Chain A
Amino acid sequence: MYDVAIIGGGIIGCSIARELSSYRLKVCVLEKASDVGCGTSKANSAIVHAGYDASPGSLKAKLNLEGNSLYTKVCKELSIPFQRVGSIVVAFDEKEVPDLNVLYEKGMKNKTPGMRIIAGEELRALEPNLAQQAVAALYAKTAGIICPFTLTIALAENACTNGVDFFFDTEVKAVYAMRPGEPRFVLKTNRALFETKYIVNAAGVQADAISQMAGGDSFFLTPRKGEYCILDKDQRNLVTTVIFQVPTKMGKGILVAPTIDGNLLIGPNAHNIEDKQDTRITAEGLAEIIAGAKKSIPSFAPQKTITSFAGLRAVPPMGDFLINADTRVKGLIHAAGIESPGLSAAPAVAKMVREILAVEGLKCKKKTNFNPYRPPLIRFNELSPDEQNKLVKRDPSYGRVICRCETITEGEIIASIRRPLGARDLDGVKRRTRAGMGRCQRGFCSPRVMEILARELKIPLNQVTKHGGTSYLLAANTKTPELKEEKGGGKNGSL
């Protein structure tokens, strides 16, 4: 019997898991994919916003501000990189300047620190590659860039080390309230039954479906797709800050931003869709984001694109986060509709959810042995030559470079598999080490990474997957008598 079952292992679910793991509670996270952060958490702008954008008085505004300031501590404890590069919202003609003032006013009401309107020489000096038409910009000092999946994984690892159980490939199919009026549930999943007192619904775009399963509050989340492109590292220095355009009612608009790992990110567009599984990139979408990015930084080279991806925002019906105790079902807590600024707000969302659980009767006693620190990952390419040499002497597996584009060694890959909640597939290794994120997109390293995964997980090479499930990378062995007869890839023969 768990005290809390968190449905959804994205940035919100894992933030909540870590927060709860500092209390003497039995907590589990149920995630339907094969790893944490496989949904919107891995396909977003990777920005910790300054906080001027949300409506004053809203949860978005309050939690964004709080979350932003919490990140310095969180990142230090988890040993993950975070850079406050600042952001600008650019007005491209005089007509847009009043919009900057509106944002500024909102920001003041939201208590966003470090904001200023800049123009002319100062703007040019800050962003020399900005389009000539730019007349002014709202500069916000506290905006930062982070790696959203490194963050999600780090949160999960720390939660796991502090006693949270994680269940992957586990999809909630039905929710039964055992004693209406009292927090007590049985969760039926595709794998096992879970008994829990409280449920935290952090199921992303599916949070409305989960609520419905439990007979809880009825709300509809609109999936709104955003497409992105990541460009090669030689494009990164075209920008210094995160460059926004004036927002529309669909969202913050297409931005051009540096990533924490030194690439350039462009996107997202914003289109409401029907299918919650649809994260396809479209030709129109790519054209749209390239054109949009060109408006801000005309000189970037689209042909330097390394990869593209799309994420779905879970858009809440009234425009604000849905973080509350369900009004119909006792013990069900929602952390739903967490669209932008969800990433920025995550640490604060976690605290708020814990407070709601306490109000709903969950006895939360602080652990004395909670360890907020996560041992840092060794990044070979960030060490000095002397440190690199010592490392290889100590552990020769760090002397074999596997990912040539990002200079990632075998030692790092092995570590990423052996850590708590370690990688079990190619994407898992990629998100923990960056192997495969470079310009050759794992063309060179995939045979080698797959070999290491097969060896560590003790499975044949053709059972290694790209992202769990049936995403097998290879079919049968070439030497089986008749290729057509051989059961390729997975155990049930499907490819």
Chain B
Amino acid sequence: MEAYDLAVIGAGPAGLAAAAAAYEAGVKKIILIERDREMGGILEQCIHTGFGMFYFREDLTGPEYAARFIKKVKAYGITFKLNTMVLQITQDKTLVAVNKEDGLLMIKAKAVVLAMGCRERTRGAILIPGTRPAGVITAGTAQRFVNMEGYMPGKEVVILGSGDIGLIMARRLTLEGAKVKMVLELLPYSSGLTRNIVQCLQDFEIPLLFNHTVVDIHGQDRITGVTIAEVDIETKKPKTGTERKVTCDTLLLSVGLIPENELSKQVGLALDPATNGPVVDEGMATSVEGIFAGGNVVHVHDLVDNVTRESEIAGRSAARYILEQKKAATLKLKTKAGQGVSYVVPQIIHAQQMAEEIALSFRVKEVYKDKRLEVSLATDTKTKVIRVRKRRILVPGEMQEIKVKKEELLAAIGTGESASGLVLTISVRKEDEDENE
């Protein structure tokens, strides 16, 4: 049994940031556990640029961004284990992990940061009918083959899903000589960054078909083609009569990411069905004392810069927990996704403990232009609007942020209010709602 102050599960951008931040806050015995053969997580296969534009004010590739944190972790002398899989974690923060050299590792930590990232949604999960040939592959897995092993998944590709991974792979495959015939998107808009639509599709004249999906897969051993169809905008069901066959030797799926919370479920954390990740508070603490979480395991991010920021908060909170051992104060607010909003992170705010200002992350349900965001606090007796902000553009594919100050929350709660039933809601105002302050 090895004893550590802090165990961090996953050495991708989230884990690296949490470990470094915890060290900088004074925690000395840290162990970083990584199942892959190097640190850096998914960034190691993201050889394109777009990372670090906010955190470093530089346009870096994935490996370059990761390298900055790997360097820190090594300079700090933080222990790290590679090719090591965490098998089990219990509420008393005991971990069981395994690797070739050590065999079974038992680790007892004072605090744990969960940074396991996410997995890709599969063909099976979205129930695409048809045969089950070789040649149906998710974008992330294809990216690994192309960028690290050096193999193409195929030569004639249809991509389902216009999220960023699909768009990036459209460009990558084209640059490496494949023909990407089209990108199909179920919704009437793309969840990917506009920058990627321009630089990955338009640059290569790859058609993007909105309101379309794949309704059949053909081929016995290897895929020979797909049948695509237009979908009804409301029901998302394929419209009969719109089906047509497209030949291809590869179907690339970019149909969503799901936070990987098997260990979280094992340890009995409360999960939020809206995010598929743990319920966390403003310090990224989960519902189990001493266990924190950051990055894609909490909610799927678009920018790694936000993963880093969020995970640094987790690391610092873990550090405070380890060094100060103080119990949480009781004034607790729940956050809520109001009109037009699909989820809010953190789900819980401790109004007395929080920093002077915190950022609430959220995503909207549809595309909104020139709208106002409203943050309102509801107590048992009244609702008070805390903040209204104008936004030119809000899209589901880009995570949003709105800041709230400790003093304005405490002022809105007032004195003598019951500590239970405090709800902070973020919503998108409808056009004709009156301003009320």
A and B are partners in one complex rather than unrelated chains: yes
Contact of B129 with A461 in the complex, beta carbons under 8 Å:
no
Contact of A400 with B222 in the complex, beta carbons under 8 Å:
no
Contact of B98 with A399 in the complex, beta carbons under 8 Å:
yes
Q: How many A-B residue pairs have CB under 8 A?
A: 163
Contact of A388 with B155 in the complex, beta carbons under 8 Å:
no
Contact of B125 with A471 in the complex, beta carbons under 8 Å:
no
Q: Does B434 contact A (CB under 8 A)?
A: no
- Take A286-B127, A476-B152 as given contacts and tell me if A466 and B220 are in contact as well, using a CB distance cutoff of 8 Å: no
Contact of B122 with A385 in the complex, beta carbons under 8 Å:
no
Considering the complex, give the chain A residue whose CB is closest to the CB of B131. A280
Complex interface: chain A residues within 8 A of B144 (CB): 447
Q: Does B414 contact A (CB under 8 A)?
A: no
CB distance from B268 to the nearest CB of A (A): 13
Residues of B in contact with A, size category = 35 or more
CB distance from A62 to the nearest CB of B (A): 36
Contact of B124 with A306 in the complex, beta carbons under 8 Å:
yes
Q: Which of B99-107, B181-189, B346-354 lies at the interface with chain A?
A: B99-107
- Take A440-B119, A443-B140 as given contacts and tell me if A392 and B103 are in contact as well, using a CB distance cutoff of 8 Å: yes
Q: Does A194 contact B (CB under 8 A)?
A: no
Considering the complex, give the chain A residue whose CB is closest to the CB of B99. A399
Q: Does A135 contact B (CB under 8 A)?
A: no
Residue in B83, B122, B265 whose CB lies within 8 Å of A400:
B83
Complex interface: chain B residues within 8 A of A405 (CB): 262
- Take A440-B120, A478-B152 as given contacts and tell me if A466 and B133 are in contact as well, using a CB distance cutoff of 8 Å: yes
Q: Write out, one digit per residue, whether chain A residues 431-463 have a CB within 8 A of any chain B CB (1) or not (0).
A: 000000001110110110001000000000110
A134 and B216 CA atoms in complex are apart in Å by 36
Contact of B129 with A280 in the complex, beta carbons under 8 Å:
yes
A475 and B134 CA atoms in complex are apart in Å by 11
Q: Does A495 contact B (CB under 8 A)?
A: yes
- Take A440-B119, A474-B145 as given contacts and tell me if A399 and B152 are in contact as well, using a CB distance cutoff of 8 Å: no
Complex interface: chain B residues within 8 A of A488 (CB): 152, 154-155
Complex interface: chain A residues within 8 A of B249 (CB): 475, 495
Contact of B154 with A475 in the complex, beta carbons under 8 Å:
yes
Considering the complex, give the chain B residue whose CB is closest to the CB of A281. B129
A294 and B332 CA atoms in complex are apart in Å by 40
CB distance from B62 to the nearest CB of A (A): 17
Q: Does B215 contact A (CB under 8 A)?
A: yes
Complex interface: chain A residues within 8 A of B134 (CB): 465-467, 471-473
Q: Does B26 contact A (CB under 8 A)?
A: no
Complex interface: chain B residues within 8 A of A308 (CB): 124, 127
Interface size in chain A (residues, C-beta < 8 A): 64
Complex interface: chain B residues within 8 A of A282 (CB): 129
Contact of B132 with A309 in the complex, beta carbons under 8 Å:
yes
Q: Write out, one digit per residue, whether chain B residues 113-147 have a CB within 8 A of any chain A CB (1) or not (0).
A: 00000011011110101111111011011001110
Contact of B127 with A443 in the complex, beta carbons under 8 Å:
no
A471 and B134 CA atoms in complex are apart in Å by 5
Residue in A285, A443, A467, A473 whose CB lies within 8 Å of B122:
A443
- Take A282-B129, A385-B104, A392-B100 as given contacts and tell me if A474 and B141 are in contact as well, using a CB distance cutoff of 8 Å: no
Contact of B35 with A401 in the complex, beta carbons under 8 Å:
yes
- Take A465-B134, A482-B177, A495-B155 as given contacts and tell me if A396 and B101 are in contact as well, using a CB distance cutoff of 8 Å: yes
CB distance from B293 to the nearest CB of A (A): 18
Contact of B151 with A440 in the complex, beta carbons under 8 Å:
no
Q: Does A483 contact B (CB under 8 A)?
A: yes
Q: Does B270 contact A (CB under 8 A)?
A: no
Interface centre among B127, B131, B262 (most CB of A within 10 A): B127
Q: Does A477 contact B (CB under 8 A)?
A: yes
CB distance from B399 to the nearest CB of A (A): 23
Contact of B120 with A443 in the complex, beta carbons under 8 Å:
yes
A461 and B151 CA atoms in complex are apart in Å by 8
Complex interface: chain A residues within 8 A of B154 (CB): 474-475, 488, 495
Complex interface: chain A residues within 8 A of B35 (CB): 401, 404
Complex interface: chain A residues within 8 A of B149 (CB): 447, 451, 461
Q: Does B395 contact A (CB under 8 A)?
A: no
Contact of A475 with B153 in the complex, beta carbons under 8 Å:
yes
Complex interface: chain B residues within 8 A of A467 (CB): 134, 221
A151 and B98 CA atoms in complex are apart in Å by 30
A215 and B133 CA atoms in complex are apart in Å by 35
Q: Does B176 contact A (CB under 8 A)?
A: yes
Contact of A443 with B138 in the complex, beta carbons under 8 Å:
yes
CB distance from B117 to the nearest CB of A (A): 11
Residue in B127, B131, B152 whose CB lies within 8 Å of A279:
B131
A415 and B134 CA atoms in complex are apart in Å by 24
- Take A282-B129, A483-B152, A484-B177 as given contacts and tell me if A471 and B101 are in contact as well, using a CB distance cutoff of 8 Å: no
Complex interface: chain A residues within 8 A of B60 (CB): none
Contact of B151 with A283 in the complex, beta carbons under 8 Å:
no
Q: Does A397 contact B (CB under 8 A)?
A: yes
- Take A305-B127, A400-B99 as given contacts and tell me if A483 and B178 are in contact as well, using a CB distance cutoff of 8 Å: yes
CB distance from B324 to the nearest CB of A (A): 33
CB distance from B171 to the nearest CB of A (A): 14
- Take A447-B145, A461-B149, A469-B221 as given contacts and tell me if A401 and B177 are in contact as well, using a CB distance cutoff of 8 Å: no
Q: Does A129 contact B (CB under 8 A)?
A: no
Q: Does A69 contact B (CB under 8 A)?
A: no
Q: Does A479 contact B (CB under 8 A)?
A: yes
CB distance from B270 to the nearest CB of A (A): 15
Q: Write out, one digit per residue, whether chain B residues 272-306 have a CB within 8 A of any chain A CB (1) or not (0).
A: 00000000000000000000000000000000000
CB distance from A223 to the nearest CB of B (A): 15
A286 and B237 CA atoms in complex are apart in Å by 14
Complex interface: chain A residues within 8 A of B140 (CB): 443
Residue in B150, B155, B238 whose CB lies within 8 Å of A484:
B155
A285 and B176 CA atoms in complex are apart in Å by 39
Q: Does A393 contact B (CB under 8 A)?
A: yes
Complex interface: chain A residues within 8 A of B146 (CB): 478
CB distance from A394 to the nearest CB of B (A): 9
Interface residues of B (CB under 8 A from A): 35, 83, 85, 87, 96, 98-104, 106, 119-120, 122-125, 127, 129-135, 137-138, 140-141, 144-146, 148-155, 176-178, 215-216, 220-222, 238, 249, 262, 265
A-B contact pairs, 17 of them (CB 8 A): A279-B131, A279-B132, A280-B131, A283-B127, A306-B124, A306-B125, A307-B122, A307-B123, A388-B104, A392-B103, A440-B119, A440-B122, A443-B141, A461-B151, A474-B151, A494-B222, A495-B222
Besides A392-B103, A441-B124, A443-B119, 15 more A-B contacts (Cβ < 8 Å) are A277-B220, A306-B124, A385-B104, A390-B103, A400-B83, A440-B120, A440-B122, A443-B120, A451-B149, A461-B151, A466-B221, A470-B221, A476-B152, A478-B150, A478-B151
Closest 6 pairs (CB-CB, A-B): A483-B177, A307-B124, A466-B134, A399-B100, A471-B221, A401-B85
